[in-house]
Amino acid sequence: MRFPRSLQSALLSASRDPHSTWIFSDTFNATLMSGSVQRAAEVSISLEEIQARVEAASAGSSRPPTLVAVSKLKPAADILTCHEDGHLDFGENYVQELAEKAAALPADIRWHFIGTLQSNKAKTLASIPNLHTVQTLTSVKTANILNDALPADRVSPLNIFIQINTSSEGTKSGLPPLTAWSDVANSGVVQLAKSIITECPKLRLQGLMTIGALRRSINASQMEQNIDFERLKETRELLHGILKSTFGESAQSRWGEDNRLLLSMGMSSDFEVALKAGSDVVRVGTGIFGERPKKTDEN
């Protein structure tokens, strides 16, 4: 049994409110409180809250940011709940899990792959018809595998973010950030970006992504400026500069949106700071779906 979302949320709050003048029968309460209905109402309420916070934190920015709901290790039913609320962007970290969910869930979902990408999984990933973006590309080899494996009948290119390891942690993947004194022209990120633009017609370079240090992310609200975000912005400026000088001003439509490369930065604990720093894409998991069971390869 399902109620329209807004009614369901209202009923859930009312039935929990000891001062409510509404009278609920025990059977009605039992149905309302049955695991799946209650879970759907909780996810729905959290999604709405996060959406409102994203909107508030990005007020005044030129283009509305994308909220990617990170659903890794969460059941397909949670994703359906958000989808019924009209949410379309979801992030997953594991290729197999993503492939299974994509096959079972609505085709208008825009899937973002945000996990560590091994080249031997790239083919499976590319075969998912509604894969919208890969946010974690770090090698020319994997770019070529993705480009070659994308089905010929795909209508739009696969969006790509290059992952940058702004915190230089050994446990995180990503290419080193660029700084004013680095050898920009010969850097891994510039070589990968050029290779995507010139050799991978089925890929579109959209921007740069970082995870950043967990410690800084947790302290972000106190510090209000996060060095990982600043490093990603600096890398973006330097990369954009060199792409312009390599391909010419008029070639800018070949990457990014509106003549700029986008930034994917900000997670549950720091997405508001990230948006204030100019992030275009935030990836929020725990804030929408609650704590995850323990797993291995992230953070």
Question: Which residue among 42, 85, 169, 298 contacts ligand PLP (CB under 6 A)?
Answer: 298
Which CB sits closer to ligand PLP, 114 or 146?
Answer: 114
Q: Is 162 helix (H, G, I), strand (E, B) or coil?
A: strand
Q: Is 187 helix (H, G, I), strand (E, B) or coil?
A: coil
Measured CA to CA, the distance from residue 295 to residue 299 in angstroms comes to: 10
Report the residue closest to ligand PLP, judged by CB: 285
Closest distance of CB 149 from ligand PLP, Å: 22
Closest distance of CB 93 from ligand PLP, Å: 5
Percent of the chain as helix, strand, coil, to the nearest 5: 45, 15, 40
Measured CA to CA, the distance from residue 242 to residue 249 in angstroms comes to: 11
- For residues 127 and 148, is the Cβ–Cβ distance under 8 A? no
The binding track of 64-93 with respect to ligand PLP, each residue x by CB under 6 A or -, is: ------x-x--------------------x
Closest distance of CB 62 from ligand PLP, Å: 24
Closest distance of CB 76 from ligand PLP, Å: 17
Which CB sits closer to ligand PLP, 105 or 114?
Answer: 114
Closest distance of CB 83 from ligand PLP, Å: 18
Measured CA to CA, the distance from residue 124 to residue 202 in angstroms comes to: 16
The binding track of 262-291 with respect to ligand PLP, each residue x by CB under 6 A or -, is: -----xx--------------xxxxx----
229: tokens are: 């975000």
Which CB sits closer to ligand PLP, 256 or 287?
Answer: 287
- For residues 270 and 220, is the Cβ–Cβ distance under 8 A? yes
With residue 215 as reference, give the H or E element that holds it.
helix 214-223
Closest CA to 191 of 143, 263, 145, 147: 143
The gap from C-alpha 39 to its chain's centroid, in whole angstroms, comes to 23
Helix axes 76-84, 35-57, angle to 10 degrees: 60
Measured CA to CA, the distance from residue 123 to residue 129 in angstroms comes to: 12
Which CB sits closer to ligand PLP, 54 or 70?
Answer: 70
Closest distance of CB 129 from ligand PLP, Å: 23
Q: Which runs of E-coded beta strand occur in the chain?
A: 66-70, 89-92, 110-113, 131-137, 158-163, 203-209, 262-264, 281-284
Closest distance of CB 131 from ligand PLP, Å: 16
Give, as one character, the DSSP assignment of residue 178: P
For residue 114, state whether it binds ligand PLP (rule: CB under 6 A). yes
Count of residues that bind ligand PLP according to CB under 6 A? 13
Closest distance of CB 69 from ligand PLP, Å: 9
Which CB sits closer to ligand PLP, 256 or 266?
Answer: 266
Which CB sits closer to ligand PLP, 44 or 136?
Answer: 136
Binding site for ligand PLP (CB under 6 A): 70, 72, 93, 114, 211, 267-268, 283-287, 298
